[in-house]
Amino acid sequence: MRRFLDIVQQVFEAIWANKLRSFLTMFGIAWGVASLLLLVGLGEGFRSGNQRGLAEFGTDVIMIFGGNIPSLPGQHSGLHPYKLTLGDLDAVRTQAPHVRNATAIINRGDLKQVSEYSSAGGPVMGILPNFADIRKLPIVQGRGLRQEDIAQHRLVVILGQKSNQLLFPGRPSIGNFITLNGYRLEVIGVADKIGRGNNNNDNQKVYIPLTTMMELFPIKGDNIPKDAISSIQYQPSTADQNELAKIEVHRIIGHRHGFNPLDPEAIEEWDTIKSSRSIGMIFTAMDVFLGGVGIVTLALGAVGIINIMLVTVSERTKEIGLRKALGATNRSIMTQFFLEGMVLTGTSGAIGIVAAAALMMGLTAIAGPGVQGFDPPRLVPWSAAMAVGALSIAGVIAGLYPARKAALLEPVEALRKD
């Protein structure tokens, strides 16, 4: 035990004797480790932030809107827009086996919201009760829509969190009334905050029964059916069946409106499942790239340590020869130089990990939780494990090769060196 402690003491004395050289090498490795962890942490923050943003729309949501179709079947000119209808929704529900749930929405942005205290101008959504099963609409006060609200065309409204603050500042809203373009509606619910940051578009929405919307504020225009809606939003049976569900829905809508379902101009849609996968692939590729850059950086650091240790062996040739002449074994010589390499890599790696974690904490404190589409960076376990593993390998290589070279020196030849 005493001999091992002596070796450890000699290791630190040797490192301290070459302070600048050791510092520069350790700085290179610490910088590589910290950069790897920080970049991967930032990438994961963007990944989780974007995925969370998509999840705030709802779970496995596909949104379909009307598009432009030929005035006559088979033509490719003279396009005209068309609107989806409640009949389309019923057909999707009954004829698309890979659709597990579907709802209809009318979205109006031109309706004035007025309470006895203030006014607001956010979007007004006509929805069905199952809207909350597909899209995110958490109710924090009161209740959500019920089937009887739809059946009886009730004049009721649910306020978004921001709309509630604007229309009823510091006052209770449940049971009170607002007017939409002069029509008086009772507030039956208030939604919880959706999303982060200052993007309050969803929080300034108000929600009324779809039948009430179609009765009071229908979509108007030339050749627009009475049951026209803004969009159909649905969920596939499983996330992996999103493409099958889209093919079925396209076929149904195309048949009902007389156009080729393969026509890319005929349907506008947004598949949040596909978007989420694309985002995941982008950030996975970025993680692989950053991981590769980090490994190369660590490898270069290991080469630097090997060079330092080889120079050290060359400079300390006489010392090594003298120690071996006095009885030092090859094992003790190898142990000393091996430990020097491991100490350099291990210490610099630990400094890099601590620095990356501290910087991430600082960024989190500065940015806070309120950045839209971005979560605070965090230390990703797999990147930290990879860094530690790469450091261990680098330390072993950087320590063993010079240590072996030092141990193989013959005492007489070593003492003859100038």
Instruction: Please report, for residues 66, 234, 246, 248, 401, the alpha-carbon distance to residue 404 in angstroms, rounded to integers and kept in the order given.
Output: 74, 67, 65, 69, 5
pLDDT of amino acid 338: 74
Q: Which residue has the higher pLDDT, 179 or 25?
A: 179
Q: What type of residue sits at position 210? A: L
pLDDT of amino acid 140: 94
Render pLDDT for 166-216 as a digit per residue (tens, 0 to 9).
999 989 999 999 999 989 999 999 999 886 655 677 888 999 999 999 999
Q: Can you tell me the distance from the alpha carbon of 316 to that of 322, in angstroms, rounded to the nearest whole number?
A: 10
> 271, 68 in Cβ contact below 8 A?
no
32-46, 190-204, 213-227, 232-246: range with highest mean pLDDT = 232-246
**Nearest Cα residue to 126 out of 185, 38, 55:** 185
Q: Which residue has the higher pLDDT, 138 or 276?
A: 138
**Nearest Cα residue to 288 out of 395, 386, 401, 172:** 386
pLDDT of amino acid 351: 85
CB atoms inside a 10 Å sphere around CB 193: 13
Render pLDDT for 120-155 as a digit per residue (tens, 0 to 9).
888 999 999 999 899 888 899 999 999 999 999 999
Segment among 1-10, 101-110, 238-247 with least mean pLDDT? 1-10
> 250, 269 in Cβ contact below 8 A?
no
Q: How confident is the model at residue 97 (pLDDT cuts 50, 70, 90)?
A: very high
pLDDT at 415 over 70: no
Mean pLDDT (whole number) for 390-406: 68
Distance of CA 341 to the CA centre of its chain: 38
> 159, 167 in Cβ contact below 8 A?
yes
Q: Can you tell me the distance from the alpha carbon of 363 to that of 368, in angstroms, rounded to the nearest whole number?
A: 8
**Nearest Cα residue to 337 out of 364, 310, 319, 359:** 310
Residues 6+ apart with CB under 8 A from 344: 15, 22, 25, 26, 29, 305, 308, 395, 398
Cα Rg of the chain (Å, integer) = 34
Distance of CA 343 to the CA centre of its chain: 37
Which residues partner with 135 through β-bridges?
58
| Three-state secondary structure readout of 58-81 | ECCCEEEECCEEECCCCCCCCEEE
Mean pLDDT (whole number) for 408-418: 64
pLDDT at 403 over 70: no
Q: How confident is the model at residue 41 (pLDDT cuts 50, 70, 90)?
A: confident
Task: State the burial class of residue 310 (Cβ atoms within 10 Å of its Cβ: 0-12, 13-18, 19+).
Answer: middle
All structural domains of the chain with their residue ranges: 1-56+277-416, 67-266
Residue with tokens 């729309």: 57
pLDDT of amino acid 258: 85
Distance of CA 147 to the CA centre of its chain: 36
